[in-house]
Amino acid sequence: MTTGALALRLLPIALALPLASCNLVQSPLNPVSPQARDLLWLFWLFTAVLAAIWLAVMLALLMSLRARRTFGADPLAVDPRRESRAGILVAGLAVATGLAVLVLTGLSFAGQRRLFADEAAAVTIRALGHQWWWEFQYENADPSQGFNTANEIHVPVGQTVLVKLESTDVIHSFWVPSLMGKVDLIPGRQNTLRFTAERAGVYRGQCAEFCGLQHAKMGMLVVAEDPETFARWREVQSQPRLEPATDEARAGERAFVAAPCSMCHQVRGTRAAGHNGPELTHVGSRRTLAAGTLPMSRGNLAAWIVDPHGIKPGVNMPLVKLDPDELNTIAAYLEGLK
């Protein structure tokens, strides 16, 4: 196969590749906050300017390759006019390069000043990175209104959200492309980022710093909703767990508290008060399970409990010995924790 034919065959694949990123749930090309829009503007500006420069250089290279130069009797003779023209051209290009670098640096610096501006925030969330899930603590001046949750945050549309980033083990990175650029979570430090969601919707985020075996399955969801819905959600989340309504769920709660589950997980309102794993007080109200890995359902809950290492090899959730009855009732109980 000639190179040309090969290129022709690869062309459709190359054209299809950008389409793969068209899922706008997690894409910096779908900005819904001023911060993400600033970043996207910078992205397009850099891409356009640098692409134009690259094209101009390639064009000049091609022209110089094709140009024929005729020589007189002495090929080494120096033509002073020609030399000075070339000198001016090279100096001009050097100055232009310096200017382009300076202007782009200035723009990116100005962009950062806007991104990291110290605005007052309506909602403050402390995000703690764990291998391999996210702990979110909603802070409130009234401690009874503060609560913990995991892997899913809700934010009010149009209000600034401050996220304080800390890590409990290794370096992670908080990245919700539609809302803000990535910021690292570093052990022993607190970094902050701010964003203001402008449109209601569900945006996916992802750990963006390799953090171990299950780094790829360390996802989260940001649900932006109107302030009234957010206030209702917050009210529900700060309450203790919903009393189990059925006999099955009541048996599930007893089994959950008696089993090793309670050594690591907390369900407020019961004696399960561990803090090593995700808080489960309202786990049934979340959209996903295991840090954005599985959709929430009773079947997936049971599958996750019975074989966490089959779904996320190396995960810290241990294999726990449970009777089938206990497993069933625990899955029913957790699903009911809306």
Partner 1 sequence: MTRHPLALITLMLALGACQREERAARPSPVGSETQEQVALVKLSPGVPGPTTYTSGKAKEFEGNAYHLSQGKKLFTWYNCNGCHASGGGGMGPALIDDRWIYGGSIENIVQTIREGRPNGMPSFRGRVPDDQIWELAAYVRSMSGNAPASAAPARSDSLHPHPAENRTSPSPPVSGGIVPPSGLLPQ
Interface residue list for partner 1 (CB under 8 A)? 187-189, 213, 258-260, 262-264, 276, 307, 309-310, 313-314, 318-321
Q: Which is nearer to partner 1, 123 or 290 (CB)?
A: 290
Q: Give φ, ψ of 90 to 5 degrees.
A: -65, -45
Taking the complex as a whole, the smallest distance from the CB of residue 188 to partner 1 amounts, in Å, to 4
SS (H, E, C) 247-305: HHHHHHHHHHHHCCHHHHCECECECCECCCCCCCCCHHHCCEECCCCEECCHHHHHHHH
Q: Which is nearer to partner 1, 30 or 293 (CB)?
A: 293
Cα separation, 31 vs 24, in Å, equals 9
Cα separation, 118 vs 105, in Å, equals 22
Helix (H, G, I), strand (E, B), or coil: what is residue 121? coil
Q: Which is nearer to partner 1, 197 or 317 (CB)?
A: 317
On the CB side of 159, CA atoms within 13 Å amount to: 17
Taking the complex as a whole, the smallest distance from the CB of residue 219 to partner 1 amounts, in Å, to 20
> H helices of the chain, where?
3-16, 34-66, 80-115, 227-237, 247-258, 261-264, 298-306, 308-311, 324-335
Q: Which is nearer to partner 1, 191 or 285 (CB)?
A: 191
Taking the complex as a whole, the smallest distance from the CB of residue 309 to partner 1 amounts, in Å, to 4
Please identify which residue in the block is written with the tokens 């006999």.
247
Tokens standing for residue 335: 């699903």
Q: Which is nearer to partner 1, 49 or 257 (CB)?
A: 257
Tokens standing for residue 251: 């048996």
Taking the complex as a whole, the smallest distance from the CB of residue 254 to partner 1 amounts, in Å, to 13
Taking the complex as a whole, the smallest distance from the CB of residue 213 to partner 1 amounts, in Å, to 7
Taking the complex as a whole, the smallest distance from the CB of residue 143 to partner 1 amounts, in Å, to 23
Q: Which is nearer to partner 1, 199 or 271 (CB)?
A: 271
Q: Which is nearer to partner 1, 209 or 225 (CB)?
A: 209
Taking the complex as a whole, the smallest distance from the CB of residue 167 to partner 1 amounts, in Å, to 12
Cα separation, 291 vs 333, in Å, equals 20
Q: Give φ, ψ of 76 to 5 degrees.
A: -90, 0
